Amino acid sequence: MRYDRKGPGERKEERAIAKTIYGYIRVSCKDQNEDRQRIALGEVPVPEKNIYIDKRSGKDFDRPQYRKLLRRLRPNDLLYIKSIDRLGRNYREILEQWRLLTREKQVDIAVLDMPLLDTRRGKDLMGTFLADVVLQVLSFVAENERANIRQRQAEGIAAAKARGVRFGRPPRPLPENFTAVYLCWKTGQITGTAAAAACGMPLATFRYRAELYEKTLLL
């Protein structure tokens, strides 16, 4: 931090000038659009050549562009991210990476959606403590929400299955001769192997489709 003296006993606090400014963007999959994050970083501004983008899940930090960024960062560089969940979603790993960046690499981080998470502010003990507390709370919320999403998905799938909803690809239509072959097999006129061959399907598939067929007859 640099200070300019204004007079006896007075001084004006200014933010330290970063050596190099970087930006990091993460979207969860290739189909997601990163424009919202890119626009936010461009308003700071971050040079386009210094923006690193990963199209990967935030469950861990095994991401090629993030690893490349780590190798480029030097003390007093400044890293911008749009929000803390763009850095990651794993509670413990977010804290570990934050400390790696700020303490070992001595890099400043600014989270655009959360001004309190700006390590250029409050370089004193209280400022550091406040940033750590806010980070821990936000990281916990991010991970907790991820767990809640998984739970809601599991509950929704279970409820749908209870209503008879089937998941996955729809089964192939039954061959035209299936009913006749099924009746021959069910009455013991032919073996399951012969029935499966007549329908052009593996024996396990024939038995599975026969079981489903029987259930439809009972409805």
Whether the Cβ atoms of residue 98 and residue 109 lie closer than 8 Å to each other: yes
28 is catalytic: yes
Whole-number Å distance between alpha carbons of 102 and 121: 13
Length reported for the chain: 219
Contact between 22 and 34 under an 8 Å Cβ cutoff? The reply is: no
Residues 6+ apart with CB under 8 A from 82: 25, 36, 37, 40, 41, 111, 112, 113
Q: Which residue has the tokens 């990163």?
A: 34
In the block, residue with structure tokens 């690499």: 105
CA distance 37 to 27: 9
Residue of 28, 57, 83, 139 marked active site: 28
Four-residue CA torsion sign, 132, 134, 135, 137: positive
| Spatial CB neighbours of 99, under 8 Å, sequence gap ≥ 6 | none
Catalytic residues: 28
